[in-house]
Amino acid sequence: MDVLYDPALWTVLIFLFLLLIKVPIAISIGIASLAVAWQCDLGLPMTSYNFFANIAKFPLLAIPYFILAGNIMSRAGIATRIINLIRISFGKLTGGLAIATVIVAAFWGAVSGSPAATVAALGVILIPGMVDAGYSRPFATAVVSVSSGLSSVIPPSIAFIMYGVITGVSIGAIFAAGFIPGFIIAFCMIVSVYLSSRRHGYRGDNIERKPGDLRAAFKEAIFALLIPVIILGGIYGGIFTPTEAAAVACFYGLFVGVFVYRSLTIKVIYEVLVDTLIGSAIVMFISACAGLYSWVSASVGLVEKTSALLIGISGNEYVTLLMIYIILFIGGMLLDAVSLMYVFMPLIMPVMANFGWDPVWFGVMLAIMVAIGCVTPPVAVSLFVGCRISGLTIEELTPPVLPLLFSMLCGMAVLSIFPQITMFLPKLMGFM
């Protein structure tokens, strides 16, 4: 009977109950944390301190900056020019526009850092374009929605920033670690969309291309192509930190939008700032509540008990890793990316230490699970955005999503079996 009075158990039960009755995730986490903190007499001063301490961290400043940069570049017409360049390059191939969509999503991942924002920026252009080229609307929406998850894996990624804040891992190191895995996942997606396109008869587009079209499209997109070079080159060249890089990206986007493409007006900039304010407030509020939940969980012994349970079930690290993946997969179906990290990372970190897993490598694996969580209902943020753009339901979208999910899992399996692939660049660049 003592187990019924275990505060660690009630921390989980209250949270799950609130989720089941459809209380918003951040509110569910906050109420569960406050209820257990009050019952266990953890103290109001410490509770309030931990609530604010989780968002009073310098690296977190990068998140609103990257959200702002993504919004600016989306409204500045940068996405349109990148899409045009990639479409001219690959549109003639079988499934060419679908392949181009994955490549554009991978490139936009180096600009946005947010899967949902990537769907919103690219979907309004690519989904109608693919439908007009003969692709089915569900397939087109699935390709855009799932491939946008590359924004979580290819740096600069908001998921990487959150992971670095929670675990103390160098954000520069995990940014470096994300490149090769991001390209591997993108390649797996390209294989998937190519095979699906062949099966369904999706051929290349019929747009007539002149010899100078590619050169003209490249010239139009050159300022857009420089964005990841400036952001990541500045970070790894030691010119600025990831937070400063995000601020530089904002000013660069404003410069290009106002003076080069002349697409940003005062009205558009105001709308961009409002959207950024709302998006940043949501992320920070979730971070504060989820961080409070992590502190309460550690205080009442949930972290130790869960970690001991995971380690005790099997001494085989691959079995334990598979169990963690399954837990994260289920968690990704119920939680947003920020909550998933704050809720589960404190539980997983002792397991990582026990088996000697490199936290940089695991951070990349977690980012892939975050990308998968964005397209697995009921909390499938990227799918919801895709459905809103295309007018489809989740049920209509599920069949074409499954092969793409399988391709992501195949890529993740390779990276799990051969962690040295992920760690190659961080070691080469001197982070390890």
Which segments in the chain show pLDDT lower than 50? 1
In this predicted structure, what is the pLDDT of residue 1?
41
The Cβ of residue 274 has, within 10 Å, a number of other Cβ atoms equal to 11
Confidence (pTM)? 0.85
**What tens digit of pLDDT does each residue of 222-280 get?**
888 888 888 878 887 778 888 888 888 888 889 988 888 888 889 999 999 998 888 88
In this predicted structure, what is the pLDDT of residue 365?
94
In this predicted structure, what is the pLDDT of residue 192?
94
In this predicted structure, what is the pLDDT of residue 182?
93
Per-residue exposure over 25-59, b if at least 16 CB sit within 10 Å of its own CB, e if not: bbebbbbbbbbbbeeeebeeeebeebbeebbeeee
Could you tell me which residues come within 8 angstroms of residue 140 by beta carbon, excluding any fewer than 6 positions away? 98, 101, 126, 127, 130, 131, 390
In this predicted structure, what is the pLDDT of residue 53?
76
